[in-house]
Structure 1
Amino acid sequence: MSIAMTEMFQVWSGLLPLGTVLLLLVSYPFVRAIYNLYFHPLSNIPGPRTWAATRLPFIRALLRGTIVHDIQKLHRQYGPILRIAPNEVTFAQPEAWDEIFRPPQGQFLKDPIWWRRPPGKPMSLINAIEPDEHARIRKALAPGFTPRALKAQEPFIQRYVTLLADRLGETVLAEPSSRVEIDIGPWFNFATFDIFGDLGFGESFDCLQNSRFHPWIALLFNSVKAAAFISATRFYPAVEYILMKCIPPSLKKVQQDHFQQIVDKVHRRLNYEMERPDIMSHVVNDRTGHGLPIDEINITFMVLTTAGSETTATVLSGTMNYLIQHPDKLQSLVDEVRGRFASGSENDMTLDALRSLPYLNAVLSEGLRLCTPIPWVLPRLVPPGGATICGVSLPEGTPVSIQAYAMNRDPTYFHRADSFLPERWLPEASADEKSPFFGDKREAMQAFSLGVRSCMGQHLAWAEMRLILARLLWNFDFEAPEDKAKWLNWEDLRTFLLVEKRPINVGLRLRADK
């Protein structure tokens, strides 16, 4: 119950009989629903009446993990501008990217419902809502994510991609038939988490070394659904308050131990005596006099570990899933990689060399489009004075979001939008008017967002995706599982803030002509 409702109840208690007060309280949700439908400032925005009347359909979709698919269907029915809650509007229109993330004046700040930091916790890059605080933290981290920094970090990345290929090779050779069927998804996670562990903390999580998830990462995956549930309760402060009070001490200790592992890693890295060109080195050697406090370093690097690893692994998993189900596309990419490189060595297959492979870039761009690592861009708030987005005037304080999943698969913007067609990203596709992809609105896809809060790690992500995919295709022959029942339909995956992945089974052999 809100503060206003509590005060109203106290007034009613003194003036009205108890039965009347109870009747008013019971009728309040119905009165509120009528207001939302007919008198709310957003009542003219298209959308289903049930979602406009109350937040409950939205929360149901969130907890079921079907929210991006449900909203995609609603966009197809009601159009690119959609009311998905009494006070919230979402967009599946390319112009919304600039108008929300690069407005001419007045930033759209993150919605505290989703982004506020937990009580008693330090500020991080992710939950720094105020622009000055965000800029301060980003400025300290940015030097570690530049192309120049990536060049110095390349040996670290190459080391773990080599280890990934070695481990997969050992797995194949252990089978008498020299062919295995494995779930490739965890292996991508092993590699990306180990890479970020070394770049961030000076030590990997040893996932590849042990061929299994580090307990810290396993706990992270298991907590994704819980995070969605906690986010849902924030729409009802009384429910959130009760939930927080009901968390058992044992679970709080698990959370603290989880965080302490990152604190220990940061502490060890900060005490290194040798110089190493990793991400943390730029934070340690900050000469501006405005370095980050240790508690902000701890929490920010914990968040970056997830943001810099899980998202990249998601794109690689989805891309490989599409490739094995489209042998012609897979063969085209294999031909390009093996035709360009005489070996898969670190000296030959460099990050600079990989950037120039057009079909590799096209395949990964298509993977980013169809396997959006963050399918639903969480809301920002319309700034004071209101704003106009895609021609619709919205009052200040309105949460607005962008549905990347829905927009990336919208036939209005992409030819055969639900099909895996890397050719749409080749340079000639946008230059030749006869190409079926000439009219594609490529600007609709902004996998790394835009503006002052765009993803700092996009250069690192591209480097990892190119190198991991190219190195594996150079060393191994991939194919779909013989049993089609084991094929994964990416569209069936649920979303709980992150994509809940299921096994991506692939057939794997050492390349025949190696």
Structure 2
Amino acid sequence: MSFTGEILSASGLVSIGVLGLLSYFILRALYNVYFHPLSHIPGPYSWSASRLPFIYSLLNGTIVHDIQHLHQVYGPILRIAPDEVTFARADAWADIFQLRSDRFLKDPIWWKRQPGNPDSLISAIDPDTHTRMRKALAPGFTTRALSAQEPILQQYVNLLVERLTEQATKQETKRSGIHSVEFDIAPWFNYVTFDIFGDLGFGESFDCLQNSRYHPWISLLFNSVKAASFVAAARFYPFIEFLLMKCIPPSLKKMQRDHYQQIVNKIERRLNFELERPDIMSHVIAGRGKTAFSREETNATFMVLTTAGSETTATVLGGTLNYLVLHPDKLATLSREIREQFDSYENITLDTLRALPYLNAVINEGLRLCPPIPWVLPRRVPAAGETVCGVWLPGGTPVSIQAYTMNRDPTYFHSATSFHPERWLPGEMENPESPFFHDQRSGFQPFSVGLRSCMGQNLALAEMRLVLAKLLWKFDFHAVPGKELDTDGNTPKHIIAES
């Protein structure tokens, strides 16, 4: 009898424990919804009660569209977790990033480096560390530096056109008496942008265009994106993060080390160059084989810049061409502008492209509808608390800006979800009779603002202008019937190119 009693007692304790745990989560959820300092911020009860809906959306890969939908329901100031607020208002740029950008520090959940790893320009949370790194890198991204780098850009864009021409020659088919070829354009944009940054950053490309395939380093990089979401999600629960880090198998750790070592080797070779060249690294080097910041910081910075300076540009190029082939009239207007401006392919230069109004309008519209960073990752409100968009927030609150939502908001842009490059033409912006006259362009900040705005925006714009101009001078593009992407797709999987 006593044995049975002990079992019942143990069972009862388990029941009490489970009941207590459930009670805690219920009470915590009720507190978050009704009594938390952010309870006055609009948002769905489920997201306000727990971090779990946010994490599910993040890991499901739908967080940008989910939050856009929530903004449409609850307004431009939105609570997306018990302790987090996001904004789809233009004045948030100044409040968070510009006027007080040295006070709204990066949220460690998203930005902190892994234990034992050095800081990079991207991960540096401390303002002094970031300023030191940015000051060393900035000269490599100026307009003057870009002018010296133009031959490198021309070399790889020409190689892109050459490779696509070869593809057309090998695979061309007769369509209504015209030579044409169908292919997936998305990887080619990644090939050219990664090769350009490889040369500018390390003095050697990744040979993606040369071999018409991804370099193994880049393939591994793409495969690690999903894992990065899991790491970020785990950081909301330190114990889970601890377990996750402990569960990484030795083979994966070795793969990570090898991945990192490839960049280290590239930097080592570049630092040993005796020939001066106008690349980005040349502005970082502050003496023979020495850099303006530590070798470890250099390695980490150029590793992340390789992605930040390549994949983002390729994303916008893919999205922009997708919209162009879905709007043949816009594509025809842009092709006509380019072909009338240049009497030969060889005469296409960055200086002249910078002045083409419709080309720049198309790129702006591509950036608006296909922002490479649709959700600006959070900053933390200063410890004393601060007001953002007229709303006071307690210290430590993560705050972010939803660029994707704002760019498609009809209160900011006429016909907001449609592709209208004309909205960026000076005549339309200055004409009170234009439907685009009242567009609120101050909310459009594709390269961010303030002390941490994108240094590489001149390079990115130059690459986009040059790639689009040379491709459209050389080819006529069409969407493949039956294989078009909808307008939420960022890359045209299949297009037809005619030469």
Tell me if TM exceeds 0.5: yes
C-alpha contact 1:371 1:490 (8 A) present in aligned 2: no
Corresponding residue number in structure 1 for 2:261: 260
CA shift for structure 1 position 279: 0.2
> Who is 1:415 aligned against?
414
After TM superposition, the structure 1 = structure 2 runs for residues 8-87 of structure 1, keeping only pairs within 5 Å, are: 23-87=19-83
State the distance in 2 between where 1:133 and 1:205 align: 30
Tell me the secondary structure at the aligned position of residue 180 of structure 1.
strand
The farther-off stretch of 449-458 and 278-287 is 278-287
Change (3 A) 1:105 1:111: closer
The answer (yes or no) to whether the contact 1:140–1:286 under 8 Å persists in 2 is no
Q: Deviations over 1:355-381 (max 9, x none)?
A: 000000000000000001001000000
Letter of the 1:111 counterpart: D
Please state if 1:180 is matched with 2:169. no
SS at match of 1:230: helix
Q: In the alignment, is residue 282 of structure 1 matched against residue 278 of structure 2?
A: no
Residues 356-410 of structure 1 deviation map (CA, whole Å, 9 limit, x = unaligned) = 0000000000000000100100000001211111111101110000001100000
The one-character-per-residue Cα deviations of 1:218-237 (angstroms, maximum 9, x if unpaired) are 11111111111111111111
Distance 1:508 1:256 in 2: 41
Q: Distance in 1 between matches of 2:84 and 2:320?
A: 32
Deviation at 1:31, TM superposition (A): 1.2
Q: Shift of residue 25 of structure 1?
A: 3.1
The residue identity in structure 2 corresponding to 1:447 is P
Separation in 2 of the partners of 1:199 and 1:248?
35
Task: Return the offset for 1:191.
Answer: 0.4
1:103 positional shift: 2.4
- Which string of whole-angstrom CA distances, capped at 9 and with x for unpartnered residues, describes residues 443-464 of structure 1? 1110000000000000000000
1:168-206 deviation digits (Å, cap 9, x = unpaired)? 111111135231111111111000000000000000000
Matches within 5 A, 1:154-169: 154-169=150-165
Q: Which one-letter code corresponds to 2:390 in the other structure? A: G
Equivalent AA in structure 2 for residue 504 of structure 1:
K
Once residues 172 and 312 of structure 2 are traced to their aligned partners in structure 1, the CA distance between those partners, rounded to angstroms, is 35
Distance 2:493 2:452 in 1: 32
Q: What is the aligned partner in structure 2 of residue 465 from structure 1?
A: 464
Of 174-183 and 36-45, the range deviating more from structure 2: 174-183
Distance 1:331 1:96 in 2: 37
Deviation at 1:325, TM superposition (A): 0.6
Could you say what secondary structure the match of 1:174 adopts?
helix
Matches within 5 A, 1:131-170: 131-170=127-166
Asked whether the 8 Å contact 1:362–1:423 carries over to 2, the reply is yes
Q: Within 2, Cα distance between the matches of 1:317 and 1:223?
A: 21
Measure the CA separation in 2 of the matches of 1:41 and 1:98.
24
Shift in Å, 1:284:
1.1
Cα deviation code 1:111-140 (max 9, x no counterpart): 000000000001100110010010011111
Q: Which residue of structure 2 aligns with residue 107 of structure 1?
A: 103
Counterpart residue number, 2:325: 324
Identify which of 88, 94, 114 aligns with 2:90: 94
* Contact map agreement 2:186 2:492 (CA 8 A) in 1: yes
Preserved CA contact (<8 Å) 2:377 2:401 = yes
Matched with 1:488 is 485
In 2, Cα distance between the equivalents of 1:152 and 1:366?
28
Query: Partner letter of residue 497 of structure 2?
Result: L
Aligned counterparts of 1:330 and 1:299: Cα–Cα separation in 2:
40
- Equivalent residue number for residue 367 of structure 1: 366
Residue 482 (structure 2) pairs with residue 509 (structure 1): no
Q: Matches of 2:118 and 2:284 in 1, distance apart?
A: 17
Cα offset, 1:18, TM superposition: 7.7
Partners of 2:188 and 2:314 lie apart in 1 by 9
- Deviation at 1:275? 0.5
AA at the equivalent of 2:446: A
The amino acid that maps onto 2:414 is H
In structure 1, the partner of 2:389 is 390
The gaps in structure 2 that reach 5 residues or longer are: 1-12, 174-178
Q: Give 1:115's aligned amino acid.
A: W
Is the contact between residue 430 and residue 438 of structure 1 (CA under 8 Å) also seen in structure 2?
yes
CA distance in 2, matches of 1:112, 1:86: 17
Return closer, same or farther for 1:290/1:216 CA change in 2, 3 Å cut-off: closer
- In 1, distance between residues paired with 2:104 and 2:32? 24
Once the 2 structures are TM-superposed, how far is the Cα of residue 106 of structure 1 from its aligned partner?
A: 5.3
Q: Distance in 2 between matches of 1:262 and 1:105?
A: 31
Contact kept, 8 Å, 2:102 with 2:127, in 1: the verdict is no
Distance (Å, rounded) in 2 between the aligned partners of 1:372 and 1:168: 26
- Of all paired residues, the percent bearing the same amino acid is 65
Report the alpha carbon displacement of residue 20 of structure 1 after superposing the two structures with TM.
5.2
Amino acid paired to 2:249:
P
Measure, in 1, the Cα distance between the counterparts of 2:287 and 2:29. 53
Contact 2:101 2:451 in 1 (8 A): no
Q: Secondary structure at the match of 1:83?
A: strand
The CA distance in 2 between the partners of 1:457 and 1:203, in whole Å, is: 19
- What displacement does 1:301 show? 0.2
Q: 1:68: Cα distance to partner?
A: 0.6
Q: Name the CA shift for 1:25/1:286 in 2 (closer, same or farther; >3 Å).
A: farther
Paired residue type of 1:24: G
Instruction: For residue 349 of structure 1, report the CA deviation from its aligned partner.
Output: 1.1
2:163–2:209 Cα contact (<8 Å) kept = yes
Q: 1:225 corresponds to which residue?
A: 226
Give the Cα separation in 2 of the matches to 1:502 and 1:432. Answer: 33
CA drift of 1:430 comes to 1.3
Shift in alpha-carbon separation, 1:311–1:176, aligned structure 2, 3 A = closer
The residue aligned with 1:189 is: 190
For these two proteins, the number of residue pairs brought into alignment is: 481
Residue 306 of structure 1 corresponds to 307
Do the aligned partners of 2:85 and 2:398 also contact (CA within 8 Å) in 1? yes
Give the superposition deviation at 1:507: 0.3
Instruction: Normalising by structure 2, report the TM-score.
Output: 0.94
Instruction: Name 2:5's counterpart in structure 1.
Output: none
Distance in 1 separating the partners of 2:20 and 2:99 = 43
Give the secondary-structure state (helix, strand or coil) at the position aligned to 2:379: strand
Alignment of 1:440-459 (within 5 A): 440-459=439-458
Correspondence 1:425 to 2:424: yes
The one-letter code sitting in structure 2 at the alignment partner of 1:256 is R
Q: Which amino acid aligns with 2:60?
A: R
- 2:441 corresponds to which letter in structure 1? R
After TM superposition, give the deviation of residue 27 of structure 1 in Å: 1.8
Distance 2:457 2:390 in 1: 31
Paired amino acid for 1:412: T
Q: Is the CA contact 1:106–1:383 (under 8 Å) kept in the aligned structure 2?
A: no
TM-score by length of 1: 0.91
* Structure 1 stretch displaced more, 406-415 or 170-179: 170-179
CA shift, 1:286, in A, is 6.2
Quote how far apart the aligned CAs of 1:26 are.
3.3
